Amino acid sequence: MSMKLPIAIDEKEQFEIYQEFLNQTTVFIKFENLLKSIRIEDGTLTLGIPIELLDRLTEAWLKDRHKFETELVDFVTEIETAMEDLKMGEKEN
């Protein structure tokens, strides 16, 4: 099972840019009910999307790209902090 770490979510809920936990080399884009056409031919994927959506998608990526490098680190830090809190709680009891 993979875990998604969000990078950018469209305000109109038409796309989501995310990375999967422990994958620091790939960005995934999920489109919701808006593709005008999809073609897969000889290993090539062609998507038809509205120009306005492409504008929002690129703006979101440029605005939130830094999250690709920081979301995983933040998540790991939160887990480490929670583990330390649990250890401290055990020592107090």
| pLDDT tens sequence across 64-85 | 888 776 666 676 777 778 888 7
* Every domain of the chain and the residues it spans: 4-92
Q: How far is CA 23 from CA 4, 40, 79, in A?
A: 10, 25, 17
| pLDDT tens sequence across 12-31 | 778 888 888 777 788 888 88
**Mean of per-residue pLDDT scores for the chain:** 79
pTM over 0.75: no
Q: Could you give the CA distance from residue 36 to residue 41 in angstroms, rounded to a whole number? A: 17
C-alpha R_g of the chain: 18
Q: Which residues contact 25 (CB under 8 A, 6 or more apart)?
A: none
